[in-house]
Structure 1
Amino acid sequence: MIVAVYGDWVLDSDVPLWARVPVVPAVGLQVVASVVLLGGALAERQRRPSAVWLSLAVAASLVLAVFPLVRHNYGLWAVGPAVTVAIGASFLSPRPRTALIICAVILALVPGGAVSLAAGDGQTAYAVLFPAGLVAFTVWTVLGPLWAWRIAGRLDRARLLEAEVAVKDERLRFASDLHDIQGHHLQVIAMKAELASRRTATDPAGAAAEMQEIRQLCSDALRDTRAVVRGIRRTTLDEELANSARVLAAAGVDARTHLEPGVRDLELSESARTLLGLVVREATTNVLRHSHAGSVEVDHRVSDGRLRLRITNDGADSALGPSDGTGLNGLADRFRATGGELTWARVAGGRFEVIAVLPAGTTTEGPGTPPGFAGPPG
Structure 2
Amino acid sequence: MTTLDAARFATGGRRMRGRITAAWWYTVAGVLAFEVIMALLIVSVSASLTDSGLEVALVAIGSAIWVAATVPLLIAYRGRDETDPVRGRTLALLLVCALCGAGAWLVTGMWVATVFAIAQPIVMLDWPRGVRVRIVIAITILLAALWFIDVQRHVDTNSATFAFFTVATPAMTVLTLWWWDILLMLDTARLSESRTSAAQERLRIATDLHDLQGHHLQVIALQLELIDRLWERDPAAAREHVRIARESVDDARQGTRDLARGFRTVPLADEIANAADLLQAAGVRTEVHVDARSSDAPVDVFGPVIRETTTNVLRHGGGSWATLSLALSDGGVWRYEIANDRASQGAPAIDGSGLEGISRRAAEAGGGVDVDQDGARFAVTVSVPATGGPA
TM-score normalised by L of structure 1: 0.69
- Give 2:325's aligned residue: 299
Q: CA deviation at 1:363?
A: 3.9
CA distance in 2: counterparts of 1:252 and 1:278, whole angstroms = 20
Please tell me whether residue 103 in structure 1 is matched to residue 132 in structure 2. Answer: no
CA distance in 1: counterparts of 2:147 and 2:168, whole angstroms = 17
Q: Residues 56, 27 of structure 1: CA spacing in aligned structure 2 closer, same or farther, 3 A cutoff?
A: farther
The total of aligned residue pairs comes to 347
**Which residue identity does 2:260 align to in structure 1?**
V
Please tell me whether residue 144 in structure 1 is matched to residue 172 in structure 2. Answer: no
| Structure 2: 5+ residue stretches without partners | 1-35
Q: Does the CA contact (< 8 Å) of 1:82 and 1:138 recur in 2? A: no
Q: Secondary structure at the match of 1:256?
A: strand
Q: CA deviation at 1:185?
A: 0.8
Please tell me whether residue 85 in structure 1 is matched to residue 91 in structure 2. Answer: no
CA distance in 2: counterparts of 1:256 and 1:76, whole angstroms = 50
Q: Does the CA contact (< 8 Å) of 2:46 and 2:59 recur in 1? A: no
- Give 1:322's aligned residue: 351
Q: Does the CA contact (< 8 Å) of 1:19 and 1:67 recur in 2? A: no
Q: CA deviation at 1:336?
A: 0.5
Tell me whether 286-295 or 149-158 shows the greater mean CA deviation.
Answer: 286-295
- Give 2:245's aligned residue: 214
CA distance in 2: counterparts of 1:169 and 1:293, whole angstroms = 34
- Give 2:93's aligned residue: 57
Q: Does the CA contact (< 8 Å) of 2:337 and 2:380 recur in 1? A: yes
Q: Does the CA contact (< 8 Å) of 1:293 and 1:313 recur in 2? A: yes
CA distance in 1: counterparts of 2:73 and 2:123, whole angstroms = 11
- Give 1:362's aligned residue: 387
Q: Secondary structure at the match of 2:366?
A: coil
TM-score normalised by L of structure 2: 0.67
Q: CA deviation at 1:184?
A: 0.7
| Structure 1: 5+ residue stretches without partners | 365-378
**Which residue identity does 2:360 align to in structure 1?**
D
- Give 2:288's aligned residue: 258
Q: Does the CA contact (< 8 Å) of 1:313 and 1:352 recur in 2? A: yes
Return the match for 1:311 from 335, 338, 348. 338
The one-character-per-residue Cα deviations of 1:161-188 (angstroms, maximum 9, x if unpaired) are 4444444444444333333322211222
Q: Secondary structure at the match of 1:49?
A: coil
CA distance in 1: counterparts of 2:340 and 2:199, whole angstroms = 23
Q: Secondary structure at the match of 1:71?
A: helix
Tell me whether 302-311 or 177-186 shows the greater mean CA deviation.
Answer: 302-311
Matches within 5 A, 1:116-127: 122-123=154-155
Q: Does the CA contact (< 8 Å) of 2:55 and 2:107 recur in 1? A: no
Tell me whether 273-282 or 7-16 shows the greater mean CA deviation.
Answer: 7-16
Q: CA deviation at 1:16?
A: 7.6
Q: CA deviation at 1:301?
A: 3.6
- Give 1:189's aligned residue: 220
CA distance in 1: counterparts of 2:230 and 2:379, whole angstroms = 62
- Give 2:74's aligned residue: 38
CA distance in 2: counterparts of 1:131 and 1:4, whole angstroms = 10
Q: Does the CA contact (< 8 Å) of 2:316 and 2:348 recur in 1? A: no
**Which residue identity does 1:322 align to in structure 2?**
D
Q: Secondary structure at the match of 1:84?
A: helix
**Which residue identity does 2:325 align to in structure 1?**
D
Q: Secondary structure at the match of 2:288?
A: strand
CA distance in 2: counterparts of 1:290 and 1:164, whole angstroms = 25
CA distance in 1: counterparts of 2:86 and 2:166, whole angstroms = 22
Q: Residues 155, 315 of structure 1: CA spacing in aligned structure 2 closer, same or farther, 3 A cutoff?
A: farther
Q: CA deviation at 1:310?
A: 2.0
Where relative contact order (Cα < 8 A, 6+ residues apart) is larger, the structure is 2
% same residue: 28
RMSD of the alignment, in Å? Answer: 4.6
Q: Does the CA contact (< 8 Å) of 1:101 and 1:136 recur in 2? A: no
Q: Secondary structure at the match of 1:362?
A: coil
* Higher share in helix: 2
- Give 1:276's aligned residue: 302
Q: Secondary structure at the match of 2:121?
A: helix
Tell me whether 177-186 or 73-82 shows the greater mean CA deviation.
Answer: 73-82
**Which residue identity does 2:139 align to in structure 1?**
A
Q: CA deviation at 1:221?
A: 1.5
Q: Does the CA contact (< 8 Å) of 1:23 and 1:67 recur in 2? A: no
**Which residue identity does 1:356 align to in structure 2?**
V
Q: Does the CA contact (< 8 Å) of 1:108 and 1:131 recur in 2? A: no
The one-character-per-residue Cα deviations of 1:306-359 (angstroms, maximum 9, x if unpaired) are 33212356799x79972457xx7555433202221246799865x875532212
Q: Does the CA contact (< 8 Å) of 1:40 and 1:47 recur in 2? A: no
The one-character-per-residue Cα deviations of 1:151-208 (angstroms, maximum 9, x if unpaired) are 2233333334444444444444433333332221122223333443455456544443
Q: CA deviation at 1:219?
A: 1.4
